[in-house]
Structures are given as structure tokens and as C-alpha cells.
Structure 1
Amino acid sequence: MHLLLLLIIFVLAFTSNEHEATADASVDYFPPYSSIVVPVTKHTDASKPLYSVQIMTQWLSDYEQHMYTNFLIDIDAPFIWHDCIVQGNMNPGRCPANTVCTYPVSCDEDQCTNIRTTYSYEDPSCSPETNTTLPGVVCGCPVNVVNPVTGTCGQGLLSFEELYVNVSDGRNPLIGIYGFYPHGAACVPSSSLASFPANVSGVMAFSTSPYAAPSLLYQPLEKTLALCLPSNSSAQGVLFFGTGPYYLLPQTGVDLSSYLVYTPLLKHPDSFGYYIGVDSIVIKKRSIGIPANTTTKLSTTDPYTILRSDIYNSVVRRFLIVTKRIPPAKPVAPFGLCFSTKDGKKWTISTSNSIKQITKDVACLAFVDGGATSEPAVVIGTFQFEDNFLVFDLKKSTFGFSSSLLSKKTSCSNFNFTRTNTP
């Protein structure tokens, strides 16, 4: 049996917003560059698929001794945090080997007051933020952090950080280091990361918060975050910050920006995350209406798109009609609609972002019922992002998205990470 399963298309509304921020940054570079670039890794060894970027957390004169940390990508987190030690006394020899040690932000400094009043976690698991005394008679500044794997609340200490990434011309990383200095990052104990994927020891905030990476990276770069998530853990995807061009092999002459369609980013009063408007969901040329003013959030920590029950049920009903010749299969959590693919039946699927192959005999609609009161009503998860090129233009407050790059004979794993000094 041959069956064409058409892509579920989100038809997007249009409004306009602006986000403003200031920051300090420096770069030691040789050729001209248009962006910074970091590799993206998919992790499947936690309770859900997650994605990390590799950032240099210690820059030494001997390149071989640089220290790197893998940070989870979180486009909702208010600030950066990772496994490190805050020390009031940074005399040589006091920092353990293979450990990042940083200076504390004092409870008397503006950063402490500002970051505590800029965000708020109302989770009952969050403890009060009580100042603490560190060795060297320094009053530390504890802040709450939310674990994106478990959703639980913990605490870290604000610190002064130095982070470094490679610059790029859009084709390769160049011989050059871009330094940025978070004035609102936090150190957490190793125990806070027990649920994280192996070799991942921090959270890199890419939200609209004034303490997230986009507010620290843009000088002299434009405030544009470009993200390309890989679909498997064996090959790296890519994240850019800065204007294009952006290139993937083998189409060395095609700027990925040419594939993009844009819609406005919307502000949410209680979140630093990214939101868009959704008018309808189209399945095989039939539109399913979405209630007016439906809130739609973009997420890099939810693995599948979550739909409020009324929307989810409409999608399932329509999908059952267009797949009525495919035998059903027992649902596999967290999915509610699955199909049997055994007995040699052949599927032609126009996108790999709608159907999740669970076993060789079972495939499921990769959308999850979020419940009757789910808020936001729609959360677009990472399975729908994989091998798509996404651009968050924070200056114009727009979100750009491509169709699947697989249809363009490339993928997010095709960036050339070979370093070069040729512009």
C-alpha cells in the first residue's frame, strides 16, 4: 500500500514587537567574520531528547588546554548556569584540576538585586533566596534555577564568567576567539546535574532575558540567533549568532536564509521565551481552526509538540480520516495515535517531523495531548525543529523557519566545522 502523509503546516499570524538589550563583548580575530558559531549535539541518554552547545569556559594560551563545557540549549531560561565553583579567594592552586572557578557576585552589587527582581520562579519547590557568606568574607548572591530535565528548582550562586566561542564567515569557523562576559551567570553544585545527559554540565540561556546569551553576544554582531538541530546523536548540528550568510554542505553556494519564511515574534508578559501566532493547522489541504488569541510557544526542552486537548482531538480526528487505510497500533506513551507499519507496507512521508518511528513495526503521530487546560495551548517541540533551519531575529522581532532541509538534499549535520583563516 502506498500512502502520502502530508506535512502538518502551521499557518502563522502576524504582529510586531521589539526586544532591546545591551552588553559587553570582545574578540581576538584575524579574518573578517559575520557570526559566531558553535556545534550542537543531540543527547538521547536522559529522560527526553535534549540538545547542547559546546562553549569554551577557560581560555589558556596553549590551545590544547582550553576547557570546554557542554550547555543545554534553553530558549526560555532567564540566565546562564553551570557546574562551577565560586571562590572569594582565587589565589593560584586553590581551584581543583579540571574545574571552572569564578569570582562571586556580591549580595551588595547591582547584579544581585537586578537579576532577582528581573525573573520570578513561583514553583513551590523553590527555596527563599537567602544571602550567604563565602570564604574570604564575601556575601554571596544565591539565585533559583529550574532544571529543564526534571522541572525541579535548585539554587546557584551568581558569579562573574568568561566564555569564549569561535567566529565564522558562515562557511567555517575562523581562526579567532570571541569572548563574552555574563554579568548574571550562576554556579551550581554537581549534584544539581544528576538528571542531565552525560558530559553536559550547564544551561545556556538563549531567551530574551537581559541576562541571556543574546543580550551578551550582539556587539559587534547583529542580534540574530540561527539554530539547526540535528536529528541524531552521531553528527553535530550548528548554532550561529549574527547575520548570515549561513551555509551547509554540499550546497556551498546557497545561503540558508533564502529558504526562510518569517512571522512575528510575540511578547508574553510572564516569560522570556519565544511565542508566535497560530491561525490554523492544515492537514491534507483541510484547515483545522484554532481559537482566537491562542498562545503558541517555541521550546528547545519539550521533545514533541504539545496541543491543548480540544486542538489535539481535532488534529487526531482529521488524521484518522486521511490515514484510514493504515492499520492502527496500540499507542506508545506519550503518543495517543500510532500506526502499524509491518507486513511490507510502504509509506511516502513528506516530512520526518510529523511521524515518529518507534519500532520497525510502529510509528506514531508526533504530537502530544497537553490536557484540557494546557497553557500555552500549543508548544512546538524539538522533534518538529530537527533538520529545519530556524532564525530568531531579535532586532526585527521575527521568527524565520525553513521547510525540512532533507528536501533540499542537506541536513543540519552538514556544517563544515573545519577551522580556516581564509575569509
Structure 2
Amino acid sequence: MGGLTHLIVFVSMFVSITLISEAQYRLPIMIYEPSKQYYTSISLRSPNMYSVTFLLDLGTNLTWLDCRELESLSSLRFITCQSSTCKSIPGSGCDRKSCLYLQPNPLGKRVTGRVVQGAATFSTKDGGRQLVSLPRFTFSCANQLLPLPVSGVLSLSPAGEFSFWRQVTTAFNVAPKFALCLPSSIFGIGHFYVGGVNSYNIPPFNASNPLPMTLTPLKNIDSGKYIISPTSIYVAGIPLSLKPSLLDGGAKISTVVPYTLLQTDIYNALASAFTRKATKMGMSKVPGTAPFKTCFDEGGSGRNIEEFMNVPVIEIGLPGRAGEVKWRFHGANTVVRVSETVICLAFVDGGKKPIEPMVIGTHQFQDYMIEFDLSTSRMAISDSLLSHKTSCFNTI
């Protein structure tokens, strides 16, 4: 029995080590400037390797693609209704023998497609740059035209077995987490990391000089959303006077909403506090420019929003390991330039009764490293990379 016990312990240790492999898989992230949304590129066999662009969506449960983009469907395996794969996809349905999936489309009406499997290829820097293949990538093959340059939507939801990051981490036995570093410019390429490492190579940061990260819990990930729990909001270090119940619904993180949406009462409190501080700094309020309601003329002072002290700092208080921690938004993430001299508060009034009181959009976390660790149900937020004289597209 002693030998059997030792064998069980050894096998358990081996499995544990395998599951926390520090292999890292890295895909590019590009910004589509007209919509302020982000996409990546994956190669599918069709029957030759064919590069396809996918919109990144934290809220989609199953990746889908307009399969008319492919050269041929001959290399795809169509999933049947009676298969274990189809039965394990929540919300799946049937059309004769084919497994179907209906899901929301962040760019328009809901999409129905046949569930298929095919080989997906992308790059990794584990042991040097090389291509790796996911031989049984499960996705939905729909007939739905999307605006260029996007051909489909990449699922990054925390729910279920078939989001892209989950399929990769399961197939390669790596830690169930991923990270996004969104570039702020069309001239740079950001990065989408899948798998477990303790550091990211963003000069000057590396394994011996790790990027500072702040941890906060993720709330109710079974909902299929990434939600954090704001405890307060600050402008220039001063907390807003808000009814605590306004923040009870939490804040959803979104990669398809370009600017943070706030419930009307939260927005009004933020805009008022920001305006008071901005006018004291010498800015003049001017009429809004849709979708922004709070705008300012910088005058002749030659301010530059990339310089962090030129506009009031906005902070979101969040629960941390030892009390409240803060997610700080500086100039480049706080305002947006709409003309040579006019800047606007880059937060949008989301209405009186939204589903979530806050939806944090991509403008607010450009040039931050945001990591979602599903093994611990926590999100890690870096300092603004711009504050360290680097950015999301300054990676190696």
C-alpha cells in the first residue's frame, strides 16, 4: 500500500505541475480606428492555412466566423446534435443532424451558425518564436457579414468550455488565464497572451523586473461576464458623493464598448467634479460633441493629454487583499481629443436604468496590462504603461 500511496502522490504532483505550466501563447492585437474596437488574427486550415481576423469579445461564449470568408469548408468537421460536444454547449440546438448555436452579436443582430471543428494556428514565444496548432478548435460557422477588417468574433467569456482562451489552456495544459494589452495607436500592435507566466516582457519590465500589478476579485464569473466591484470613484483624490447602491451592480469590463458607460447619476457626479477641477486648472467648458457631453477648450496653454498632470486624475476604488486599491486613469485614458484645442471627458452617460451601472470601455484600459486569472477568479491591473515611458506595443 505504501508503494501505491507514493505512486498516487507522484502522479498528483505531476498533474499539478502540468496544469501550472508557464508556457505562454501570444497573438497580435490591432485597433480598428473607426469603431475603436480590437481584433486579432488566427490561421485556419481551409484546406490551406488561411488568415482570419476576429473581433475580441469578453462577452461571447463561442467563437463564430462568417465561413464565406474561407476558401473551402472541406477541412472542417461538422458537429452532430448527438455528440458530447454539442450537448456540452449551453444553448445549442439542432437542424436535422447539425449542431446549431445562437448567440448575441456585439456588432448587430443575433447569429445562428453550425458548430464545427477545425485546426487553428497561432504563434508562441515559449522556447522561441514558433507556430502552434490547436487541432480541434470548436467554433460556430455562420453566414453573417461583418464590417471590415473583421471576419468573426473571438470568444473570451469566462463561462463554459469553449471560449478561445479555455480551449487553448485546456489543450496545452497551461494555467487558465489570459491577458490583454490594447494599443492606443493604429501604428502599433498590442498583444493577447494566453497561458500562465508571472511576468510580461514589456521593456523595461521582464522576469527580473516585473510589471507592477494590482489584484481585485472578479464577481460572479458564471454569468459569462467579467465584473469587478467598485467601492468608490475619485476625481483628483476626492471621492464622489454617491449613493452606495449605485455601485452595487459592479462594473463590467468590455472589449467592444469604446468609452466607459456610466449610469446617469454616476456620470453626472463624475462630470461635475471633473468640470470643477478642470476649470480651476484654466480650461473653459464648451458644448459637448457626441457622444461626449462634457468638453473643454484648452485655450493657448499648449496642454498635451499624454502628459499626466494636465487633466484631473480619475480613480476607481476596488477591493484588494488588504483594503481598497485604486485603478488610476491619467490624461490619455481620461479624455479624448476631438479638435486641435478641444478635449472631452472620455466617459459616456449610459442612461438611468442600464443593466450594469458601469461598463469599462477600451479607451480606459489602452496601454494597461489587464490579466484575467480564472484559477483564482481575480483580475490584475498594471500601472499605466505610459507612466513608465512605455506602451502596449513596446513588447518583445
TM-score bracket, normalised by the shorter chain, equals 0.7 to 0.9
Counterparts of 1:366 and 1:204 in 2: how far apart (Å)?
Answer: 26
Secondary structure class of the residue paired with 1:217:
helix
Asked whether 1:358 is paired with 2:338, we answer yes
Q: CA deviation at 1:177?
A: 1.4
Q: CA deviation at 1:242?
A: 1.3
Q: Deviations over 1:367-387 (max 9, x none)?
A: 011111012001101000100
* 1:6-405 matched pairs, under 5 angstroms: 34-45=23-34, 48-58=35-45, 66-84=49-67, 97=71, 101-115=75-89, 118-119=90-91, 131-132=95-96, 139-150=97-108, 152-169=109-126, 174-179=129-134, 181-183=136-138, 185-189=139-143, 192-194=144-146, 196=147, 198-209=148-159, 210-218=161-169, 219-251=172-204, 253=206, 257-267=210-220, 271-288=223-240, 289=242, 291-292=244-245, 293-324=248-279, 325-346=282-303, 348-349=310-311, 350-405=330-385
Cα distance 1:256–1:401, how it changes in 2: closer, same or farther (>3 A)? farther
* TM-score normalised according to structure 2 size: 0.80
Cα distance 1:281–1:178, how it changes in 2: closer, same or farther (>3 A)? same
Cα distance 1:399–1:255, how it changes in 2: closer, same or farther (>3 A)? farther
Q: Which amino acid aligns with 2:78?
A: P
**Candidates 384, 387, 390, aligned match of 1:407:** 387
Q: Which amino acid aligns with 1:181?
A: R
Q: How many residues align?
A: 345
Equivalent pair of 2:199/2:206 in contact (CA under 8 Å): no
Equivalent pair of 1:78/1:119 in contact (CA under 8 Å): no
* 1:15 counterpart residue number: none
Q: Deviations over 1:366-407 (max 9, x none)?
A: 101111101200110100010000110110110000121011
Equivalent pair of 1:295/1:375 in contact (CA under 8 Å): no
Q: Deviations over 1:30-69 (max 9, x none)?
A: xx97210101010124xx2110111121298xxxx63221
Counterparts of 1:256 and 1:109 in 2: how far apart (Å)?
Answer: 48
Secondary structure class of the residue paired with 2:60:
coil
Q: Which amino acid aligns with 2:277?
A: V
Cα distance 1:351–1:345, how it changes in 2: closer, same or farther (>3 A)? closer
Equivalent pair of 2:113/2:142 in contact (CA under 8 Å): yes
Q: Which amino acid aligns with 1:35?
A: Q
Cα distance 1:338–1:255, how it changes in 2: closer, same or farther (>3 A)? farther
Q: CA deviation at 1:105?
A: 1.1
Cα distance 1:406–1:205, how it changes in 2: closer, same or farther (>3 A)? same
Counterparts of 1:107 and 1:244 in 2: how far apart (Å)?
Answer: 38
Q: CA deviation at 1:247?
A: 3.7
Q: Deviations over 1:246-284 (max 9, x none)?
A: 444532646685310000011156x31101100000111
Secondary structure class of the residue paired with 1:112:
helix
Q: CA deviation at 1:176?
A: 4.1
Equivalent pair of 1:308/1:370 in contact (CA under 8 Å): yes
Counterparts of 1:340 and 1:364 in 2: how far apart (Å)?
Answer: 9
Equivalent pair of 1:256/1:389 in contact (CA under 8 Å): no
Counterparts of 1:255 and 1:362 in 2: how far apart (Å)?
Answer: 42
* 1:92 counterpart residue number: none
Counterparts of 1:248 and 1:357 in 2: how far apart (Å)?
Answer: 30
Equivalent pair of 2:385/2:392 in contact (CA under 8 Å): yes
Gaps of 5+ in 1: 1-31, 86-94, 121-128, 133-138, 417-423
Q: Which amino acid aligns with 1:56?
A: S
Counterparts of 1:42 and 1:180 in 2: how far apart (Å)?
Answer: 28
Q: CA deviation at 1:342?
A: 3.9
Cα distance 1:248–1:410, how it changes in 2: closer, same or farther (>3 A)? farther
* 2:16 counterpart residue number: none
Secondary structure class of the residue paired with 1:346:
coil
Q: Which amino acid aligns with 2:225?
A: G
Counterparts of 2:380 and 2:209 in 1: how far apart (Å)?
Answer: 11
Q: Which amino acid aligns with 1:109?
A: S
Counterparts of 2:121 and 2:230 in 1: how far apart (Å)?
Answer: 37
Q: Which amino acid aligns with 1:317?
A: S
Gaps of 5+ in 2: 1-20, 305-309, 312-329
Secondary structure class of the residue paired with 1:141:
strand
